């Protein structure tokens, strides 16, 4: 995943997550009447760098390690916390999106924000930059696991489905004469098979057979359709067009025989190898064709590796 | 041998994916017929051709080729280079003809069969 995508994911998460998802609780608090020496012990024992000051259930202030250092350097008497704390406390509500806590941190430069329950005004938690980072990482990890599970599910699709018959049908329309787009259906088919965890050799054989069939439709007809049925034990590729048809199938199957016009040959196609390539890749191939009505190609590939 | 060493020693112009030349080249193949390449190459082969249209990338990506060397100083259109980047197939170009490129590769120990070509005095 690219850095840009990650960034967008985080941007998405800071709007999606609530402060309550990342805040720490229960909150360690001190009382206004406690002394600075007690506050120092709390910071030391709990390994934190600040706490809200609570009187009963009411949030009355906030005090941090900065206040403690100031008190220590001025070598003052053991004041009560109430005398040294900040009384103007900036808080966030627990139901606010994470982004509002982040913008408060950015604007004010504080290390922590007490979290208040909007309904009853009580202190329910505390949020720090560290808590935000941890919360985001946790969420990203959950996403990552889900993606892994999705990947696993795609590659075990057929094993996971219990039924009497399971079949995945994929349809591609092939635009005749659109040489530049040639190979799109085949390369998409290869991607799908890879995703379904088909053996590499099967992916390759199915893709080559589909490619040759696709190019035939592009060069010789005004368009056609490819339907692929993927089953646990085999792949069936069915290509139908309403083109000119093949007058002599036996001849068409001879290696090197081709009716391709010069412009097709100049592009490196029309070497009379297409149908042979399909035959070599397929476990079974059937052609039926009626002149001036169209052609149908049935290709069968079994799922066991190296079956052909 | 790594594709980047081949590019350096044959003085090939790298048309795209300069940072993806760290792949090992196992064999070489010269052909201008796409079906022929599909039928006779395998993953890791280096393909030498005069064809420069988009479909060479479908072929190369289908068989997992290490890269494509365009001969006689041929340059593909911009859309083809974009397609190459999308399919992650390195495109290289040389003013030399196919015979020269193949000969130089063979001297460097790259053969068409995957068997050691290093009996040749370079």
**Rounded CA separation A53/A28 (Å):** 9
Q: Do B35 and A269 touch (CB under 8 A)?
A: yes
Closest CA to A115 of A91, A98, A99, A136: A91
Q: Which has more confidence, B28 or A148? A: B28
pLDDT score recorded for residue A108: 87
> Any idea which residue has 């051709």 for tokens?
B49
Chain A contact for B39 (CB, 8 A cutoff): yes
Residue A4: Cβ-neighbour burial (10 angstroms; 0-12, 13-18, 19+): exposed
Q: Which has more confidence, A253 or A14? A: A253
Chain B contact for A188 (CB, 8 A cutoff): no
pLDDT band for position B59 (cuts 50, 70, 90): very high
Q: Which has more confidence, A1 or A210? A: A210
Task: Give the one of B51, B55, B79 whose C-beta lies nearest to A183's C-beta.
Answer: B55
Mean pLDDT for chain A?
A: 89
Specify the range with the lowest mean pLDDT, choosing from A88-97, A270-279, B22-31, B108-117: B108-117
Tell me: pLDDT of A203 over 60: yes
Chain segment A164-186, per-residue pLDDT in tens: 888 999 999 999 988 887 889 99
* Sheet strand arrangement including B91-93: B13-14, B91-93, B67-70, B45-49, B27-30
Q: Can you give the pTM of this predicted structure?
A: 0.63
Domain ranges of chain B: 3-107
Chain segment B24-39, per-residue pLDDT in tens: 999 999 999 999 999 9
Task: Give the one of B33, B38, B56 whose C-beta lies nearest to A208's C-beta.
Answer: B38
**Rounded CA separation A276/A256 (Å):** 9
Q: Which domains are assigned to chain A? A: 3-137 (3.10.580.10), 165-302 (3.30.565.10)
Specify the range with the lowest mean pLDDT, choosing from A269-273, A301-305, B31-35, B70-74: A301-305
Q: Do B62 and A182 touch (CB under 8 A)?
A: no
Chain A contact for B2 (CB, 8 A cutoff): no
How many Cβ atoms from other residues are within 10 Å of residue A38's Cβ?
15
Q: Do A182 and B49 touch (CB under 8 A)?
A: no
Q: Which residue of B31, B32, B35 is the best one to mutate when testing the A interface, meaning the one whose CB has the most A CBs within 10 A?
A: B35
Q: Do A268 and B61 touch (CB under 8 A)?
A: no
Q: What is the CATH number of domain B3-107?
A: 3.40.1390.20
pLDDT band for position B80 (cuts 50, 70, 90): very high
pLDDT band for position B121 (cuts 50, 70, 90): very low
Paired tokens of B114: 């995957």
pLDDT score recorded for residue B118: 56
Query: Least CA distance to A281: which residue of chain B?
Result: B39
pLDDT score recorded for residue B122: 39
Mean pLDDT in residue range A112-126 = 92
Specify the range with the lowest mean pLDDT, choosing from A113-127, A272-286, B107-121: B107-121
pLDDT score recorded for residue A267: 86
Question: Which residues of chain A have a CB within 8 Å of the CB of B55?
Answer: 179, 182-183, 215, 267-269
**Rounded CA separation B12/B10 (Å):** 5
pLDDT above 70 covers what percent of chain A? 96
Mean pLDDT in residue range A251-272 = 89
Mean pLDDT for chain B?
A: 91
Query: Least CA distance to B61: which residue of chain A?
Result: A187
Tell me: pLDDT of A217 over 70: yes
Tell me: pLDDT of A98 over 60: yes
Most confident of the following: A70-79, A237-246, A251-260? A237-246
pLDDT band for position A2 (cuts 50, 70, 90): low
Query: Rg of chain A's alpha carbons, rounded to an integer?
Result: 35
Q: Do B35 and A212 touch (CB under 8 A)?
A: yes
Task: Give the one of A187, A190, A211 whose C-beta lies nearest to B38's C-beta.
Answer: A211
């Amino acid at each position: 995943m690219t850095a840009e995508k990650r960034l967008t994911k985080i941007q998405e998460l800071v709007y999606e997550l609530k402060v309550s998802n990342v805040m720490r609780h229960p909150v360690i608090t001190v009382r206004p009447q406690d002394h600075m020496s007690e506050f120092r012990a709390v910071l030391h024992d709990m390994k934190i760098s600040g706490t809200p000051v609570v009187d009963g259930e009411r949030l009355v202030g906030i005090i941090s390690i900065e206040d403690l250092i100031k008190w220590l350097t001025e070598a003052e008497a053991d004041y009560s916390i109430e005398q040294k704390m900040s009384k103007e406390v900036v808080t966030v509500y627990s139901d606010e999106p994470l982004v509002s806590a982040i913008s408060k941190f950015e604007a004010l430069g504080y290390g922590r924000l007490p979290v208040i329950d909007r309904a009853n005004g009580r202190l329910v938690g505390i949020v720090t930059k560290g808590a935000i980072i941890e919360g985001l990482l946790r969420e990203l990890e959950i996403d990552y696991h889900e993606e892994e599970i999705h990947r696993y599910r795609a590659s075990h699709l057929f094993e996971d489905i219990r039924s009497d018959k399971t079949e995945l049908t994929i349809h591609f329309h092939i635009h005749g004469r659109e040489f530049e787009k040639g190979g799109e259906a085949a390369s998409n088919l290869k991607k799908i098979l890879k995703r379904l965890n088909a053996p590499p050799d099967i992916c390759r054989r199915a893709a080559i057979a589909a490619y040759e069939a696709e190019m035939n439709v592009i060069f010789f007809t005004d368009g056609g359709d490819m339907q692929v049925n993927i089953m646990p034990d085999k792949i069936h590729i069915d290509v139908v067009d309403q083109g000119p048809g093949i007058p002599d199938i036996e001849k068409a199957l001879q290696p090197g025989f081709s009716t391709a016009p010069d412009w097709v040959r100049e592009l490196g196609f029309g070497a009379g190898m297409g149908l042979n390539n399909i035959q070599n890749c397929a476990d079974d191939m059937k052609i039926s064709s009626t002149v001036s009505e169209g052609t149908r190609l049935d290709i069968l590939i079994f799922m066991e590796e190296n079956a052909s | 041998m790594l594709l980047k060493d081949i590019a350096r020693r044959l003085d090939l112009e790298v048309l795209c994916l300069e940072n993806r030349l760290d792949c090992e080249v196992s064999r070489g193949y010269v052909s201008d017929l796409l079906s022929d390449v599909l039928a006779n190459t395998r993953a890791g082969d280096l393909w030498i051709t005069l064809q420069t249209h988009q479909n060479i990338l479908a072929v190369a990506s289908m068989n997992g080729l290490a890269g494509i060397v365009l001969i006689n100083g041929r340059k593909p259109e911009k859309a083809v280079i974009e397609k190459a980047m999308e399919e992650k197939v390195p495109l290289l170009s040389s003013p030399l003809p196919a015979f020269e490129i193949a000969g130089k590769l063979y001297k460097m120990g790259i053969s068409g069969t995957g068997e050691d070509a290093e009996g040749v005095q370079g």
